[in-house]
Amino acid sequence: MTVFPSFIFQMISPTVFFVGVVVALSASLLGVFVVGRRMALISDALSHVALPGLAAGLLLGFDPFLGALAVLFFSVLIISSIERQGILSFETLVGIFFTAALAIGLLIIPEEHLLESLFGDIAKIGYLEILETALLGFLILFFIVFFFREFSKITFSSDLAWGEGLNVNRLNLAFLLLLALSVAMGIKIIGALLMGALIILPASAAKNAAGSLKGLTLLSIIFGLISVFVGLFLAGAFQLPPGPMVVMVSAAIFGLSLFVRKA
Amino acid sequence: MGVLPYEGEIIWHKKPTLGYVPQRLEFDRTFPLTVKELLLLKTKGANFWLPKESALKEVVNSLNHTRAGHLLDKRVGKLSGGELQRVLIAYAIFGQSDFLLFDEPLSGIDIEGEMTIYGLIKHLAKELNLTVLFISHDLNIVSEYADSVICLNKKLFCSGVPEKILTPEQLKALYGAPITFYLHKHEEPVKHHHS
């Protein structure tokens, strides 16, 4: 017991463990489809869109998580509806929303909270956060499991999905909303800036190593869980911010995956 | 697909299960989906993750029908053009489809590959008692394999058995120029119905 200081155990308390598992599971499962569809930068950008919501919460004294959630949700709805007019591409619109949101966020966010919003602060997780994570996590996991085949078909080929009569537009919107939810959920634990990374990295590493969709999904989950656990542990051991540590571990796994590449 | 207005009605003996084979499939070659997994995506319940013996058997069966059984564990992104065609046909018949719709599925494949796949489709139709609706502009193929033809060029021009329909007079009316069908004319679609 003397080898590790006590805060390490605080870091990996049951509360943190639970929140970490739910965030890792949601992020790595969504990542399978994000990486497959080459939407990687979109999940990254979405994580920045959350900032003004966080800032508003901090300024006006309501739960920043709810602020982030609301801003993400409406951004996705607005982006989708403008996209349907067919003039600007989805990527362009996300780019516009992302930079504008980042600018607004940086302007209004109280300076002492800036780092926390960008990189998360797991030490501040309380019962409310656990409840929020549990609810959102259940919702996200339920939808992914329930629509796994539909999302897989669309990711593999939207032509094929159309041909079978799937409502590709509606499923795409649902997927983006799930992505937005998972970004909002991850903000507390690893921060807005790095949540996008937790969606992309485990799935990318898994894609390097997997020879099947089943393998890709399972490996992505495993890599996501390892990233969160090892990252939190190292953050505790060296008293470093947890968000960047989680992402560093994830990036290291990605680096290793390059060596087992199944071209 | 409900895009164009139409008149008339389609009367089925019983409501068919449709399998669609597209002309060209745009898909992500890097997505690590295997052939087996592609077919299992059509199943219900937990069959994708823990396939029942019966589901696996049906997958293998469908692939064997299109001589693609050996491709079971291959990644879809690594298939050749001809292999992909056969896998897509297997995908279309998987799940007890009794009606197959081909939208000029064989463009981009060399003639030899094409001929074997046309033969395969004809064979499948007989073996599995399928109705095949085949959209093609290739009169040689139509005349060789179709039981019944519908010629369309903005409106219905003719329909019936190929030998009676594909006469020089009819073709002239259809294409607006004198033509015999050994000349490859690749402008107008000819619907080719085979049941």
Q: B72 CB near a chain A CB, below 8 Å?
A: no
What residue ranges do the domains of chain B occupy?
Answer: 18-23+30-142
Residue of A nearest to B28 (CA): A156
A51, two tokens:
């900032």
* pLDDT given for residue A256 in this prediction: 95
Find out if CATH 3.40.630.30 is the number for domain B18-23+30-142: no
Cβ distance of A156 and B27 shorter than 8 Å? yes
Domain encompassing residue A140: 10-262
Q: Where residue A128 sits, what CATH number does that domain have?
A: 1.10.3470.10
Mean pLDDT by 10 residues, chain B (195 residues): 62 71 81 94 85 90 88 91 86 82 64 64 83 79 78 72 72 67 46 45
Among B144, B87, B151, smallest CA distance to B119 is for B144
Is this complex scored with an ipTM above 0.90? no
Does residue A81 fall inside a structural domain? yes
In tens, the pLDDT along A42-68 reads 777 887 888 888 888 888 888 888 888
Count how many Cα atoms sit within 13 Å of the Cα of residue B2 in the half-sphere of its side chain. 3
Contact B32 A157 (CB under 8 A): no
**What three-state secondary structure class fits A155?**
helix
Global pTM? 0.81
Is there a domain that residue A4 lies in? no
Residue A2 belongs to some domain of the structure:
no
Cα Rg of chain B, angstroms = 18
Residue A192 pLDDT exceeds 80:
no
Q: What is the pLDDT of residue B86?
A: 86
Query: Which residues of B are less than 8 Å from A207 in CB distance?
Result: 30, 32
Q: Number of structural domains, chain A?
A: 1
Chain B residue nearest residue A160, CA to CA: B25
| B181 neighbors B162 (Cβ within 8 angstroms) | no
Which phi and psi angles does B148 have, rounded to 5°? -155, 140
Rg (C-alpha) for chain A, rounded Å, is 18
Q: A248 vs A64, which has greater pLDDT? A: A248
Interacting residues of A201 by C-beta distance below 8 A, sequence separation 6+:
A31, A223, A227, A247, A250, A251, A253, A254
| Closest residue in chain B to residue A203, using alpha carbons only | B31
C-beta atoms of A156 and B49 within 8 A: no
Does residue A154 lie within any of the structural domains?
yes
Burial class (CB in 10 A: 0-12, 13-18, 19+), B5: exposed
pLDDT in tens, A112-129: 777 776 666 666 677 887
B22 lies within 8 A of chain A by CB? yes
What does A110-134 look like in DSSP terms, one character per residue? Answer: -HHHHHHHHH--GGG--HHHHHHHH
